[in-house]
C-alpha cells in the first residue's frame, strides 16, 4: 500500500529538517505543507495526504489545522484532541489527574479576583502560567501577596478574555533542573536534564542540557502522561521534588527536540523514531518499492 504524507509547518526549524532527512533516508516521500496557505471547506473530504505530521509552530494554526485535516479524513499526528489538551494547561492537568499520572496540585480561577483567594489558600510560592503559552513565556513565580496582586492586575488588564482565566500550579522545589522526556508511540525514546541558574528551565530561556538516565519509573510516567493527553508524539516535562518523586509539569504536543538530540547524540534518533511512527500509521512503503 502506498500513502502520501504531509508535513505541516510554516517554519522549517532544525527539527523539521532532521525529520525530512529521516523520511528521505527511509526513501519515503513527504510533502511539506505551509499551513499559512491552507483552507478547508465544510464538505471537503479529499485532501492529497493520508497522514499529516503536524509540526506547525503556531499553536492556534496547529489546533485548527489538525481539526480540519481530521474532518477531511486525514490521520493527523498529533491528533486535534491531543493538540487541544496540550495547548491548554488546565485541560492537561485535568487529563493527568484523571489518568492517575503524578502532577503538582493545580487550580483554575475564572477571574483574577478569584485567583487571589485561591493563591491565599494554596500558599506561597505559587506559579502562575498563561493557559496556553509555551517556551516559559509570562510564567511567574509568585512569592508573596504583593507580587500576586501586581501580576494579577497585569492579567486583568490584558485584552483577551482567556488571559483573565488564571492557571495556578504549586511550586515544586527542584534541584536546579527539570527533565524532558520525548515519547514517540508507546516508547520513551530519550531524556535530558535541563538546568538553569534561574527557576525556569526552558531551553528557549537558555537552560543547558545533559543526559538523563531513562530509568523505568521515568519512562513509565512519561508514557502515561503522553497517553493521558492522547499524544502520539510528546515532550513530557517532569520535575523531581525534594523526596525524589517525579511529577509531570506539562506535556508538549509540538515537541522541539533539537536540544535533546544534541545532548544525547546519534545514539538516540528522535526524528527517525517519529518518521517510523508516521510511516507505520500511513501504511506507507518506500517510494519505488511497488515498482
Partner 1 sequence: MIAACPECENKIDLPDTTRLSEVVECSDCRSELEVVSTDPALLVIAPEAEEDWGE
Query: Cis (ω within 30 of 0) for the bond into 190?
Result: no
Question: Does 253 sit near partner 1 (CB under 8 A)?
Answer: yes
Which of 3, 38, 47, 57: binder of partner 1 (CB under 8 A)? 57
Judged by CB, which is closer to partner 1: 58, or 196?
A: 58
Contacts for 161 with CB less than 8 Å, ≥ 6 apart: none
Whether residue 249 contacts residue 240, with contact meaning beta carbons closer than 8 Å, is answered with: no
Nearest distance from residue 90's CB to partner 1, in Å? 16
In this structure, the chain runs to a length of 291
Taking CB under 8 A as the rule, does residue 10 contact partner 1?
yes
Residue of the chain from 6, 254, 259, 272 that contacts partner 1 (CB under 8 A): 254
Cβ atoms 277, 226 nearer than 8 A: no
| Residue 36 Cβ vs partner 1, minimum distance, rounded to whole Å | 9
Closest separation in Å from C-beta 74 to partner 1: 20
Q: Does 154 bind partner 1 (CB under 8 A)?
A: no
- Our finding on whether 255 is near partner 1 (CB under 8 A) is yes
Q: Which residue has the cell 518506500?
A: 286
How many chain residues interact with partner 1 (CB under 8 A)? 25
Q: Of the candidates 27, 135, 173, 198, which one interacts with partner 1 according to CB under 8 A?
A: 135
Q: 56 near 62, Cβ under 8 Å?
A: yes
Nearest-5° angle of CA 111, CA 100, CA 243?
90
Q: Which of 31, 34, 117, 220 binds partner 1 (CB under 8 A)?
A: 34
Choose between 20 and 211: whose C-beta lies nearer to partner 1: 20
CB of 235 to partner 1, least distance (A): 6
Give the chain's largest Cα–Cα span. Answer: 71
Question: 252, 260, 279, 281: which one contacts partner 1 (CB under 8 A)?
Answer: 252
137 lies in the site for partner 1, by CB under 8 A? yes
Query: Which of 84, 88, 178, 256 forms a contact with partner 1 (CB under 8 A)?
Result: 256
> Nearest Cα to 8, choosing from 71, 74, 81?
74
Interstrand relation of 233-240 and 246-252 (parallel, antiparallel or unpaired)? antiparallel
Q: How far is the CB of 29 from partner 1 (least distance, A)?
A: 14
Burial class (CB in 10 A: 0-12, 13-18, 19+), 222: buried
262 binds partner 1 (CB under 8 A): no
Tell me if 156 sits within 8 A of 193, measured CB to CB. no
Minimum CB distance to partner 1 smaller for 60 or for 210: 60
- Give the residue, chosen from 68, 132, 201, 209, that forms a contact with partner 1 under the rule CB under 8 A: 132
Q: DSSP secondary structure string, 206-269?
A: T-EEEE----HHHHHHHHHHHHHHT-SEEEEEEEE-TTS-EEEEEEESS---HHHHHHHGGGS-
Judged by CB under 8 A, the stretch of 66-74, 130-138, 185-193, 223-231 that binds partner 1 is 130-138
Binding region for partner 1 (CB under 8 A): 9-13, 17, 20, 32, 34, 57-60, 132-135, 137, 204, 235, 252-256
Amino acid at each position: 500500500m502506498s500513502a502520501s504524507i504531509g508535513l505541516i509547518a510554516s517554519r522549517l526549524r532544525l527539527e523539521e529538517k532532521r525529520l525530512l532527512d529521516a523520511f528521505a533516508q527511509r526513501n519515503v516521500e513527504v510533502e511539506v505543507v505551509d499551513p499559512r496557505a491552507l483552507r478547508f471547506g465544510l464538505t471537503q473530504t479529499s485532501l492529497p495526504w493520508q497522514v499529516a505530521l503536524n509540526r506547525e509552530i503556531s499553536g492556534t494554526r496547529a489546533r485548527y489545522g489538525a481539526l480540519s485535516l481530521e474532518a477531511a479524513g486525514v490521520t493527523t499526528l498529533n491528533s486535534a484532541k491531543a493538540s487541544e489538551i496540550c495547548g491548554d494547561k488546565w485541560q492537561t492537568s485535568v487529563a493527568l489527574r484523571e489518568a492517575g499520572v503524578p502532577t503538582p496540585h493545580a487550580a483554575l480561577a475564572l477571574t483574577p479576583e478569584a485567583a487571589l483567594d485561591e493563591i491565599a489558600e494554596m500558599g506561597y510560592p505559587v506559579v502562575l502560567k498563561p493557559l496556553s503559552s509555551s517556551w516559559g513565556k509570562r510564567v511567574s513565580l509568585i512569592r508573596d501577596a504583593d507580587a500576586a496582586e501586581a501580576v494579577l492586575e497585569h492579567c486583568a488588564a490584558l485584552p483577551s478574555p482567556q488571559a483573565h482565566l488564571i492557571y495556578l500550579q504549586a511550586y515544586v522545589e527542584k534541584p536546579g533542573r527539570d527533565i524532558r522526556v520525548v515519547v514517540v508511540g508507546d516508547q520513551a525514546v530519550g531524556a535530558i536534564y535541563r538546568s538553569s541558574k534561574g527557576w525556569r528551565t526552558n531551553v528557549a530561556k537558555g537552560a543547558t542540557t545533559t543526559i538523563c538516565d531513562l530509568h523505568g519509573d521515568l519512562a513509565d510516567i512519561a508514557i502515561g502522561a503522553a497517553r493521558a493527553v492522547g499524544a502520539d508524539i510528546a515532550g513530557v516535562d517532569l520535575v523531581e521534588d525534594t523526596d525524589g518523586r517525579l511529577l509531570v509539569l506539562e506535556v508538549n504536543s509540538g515537541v522541539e527536540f533539537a536540544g535533546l538530540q544534541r545532548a544525547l547524540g546519534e545514539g538516540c534518533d528522535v526524528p527517525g523514531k517519529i518518521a517510523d511512527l508516521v510511516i507505520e500509521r500511513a501504511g506507507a512503503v518506500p517510494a519505488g518499492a511497488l515498482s
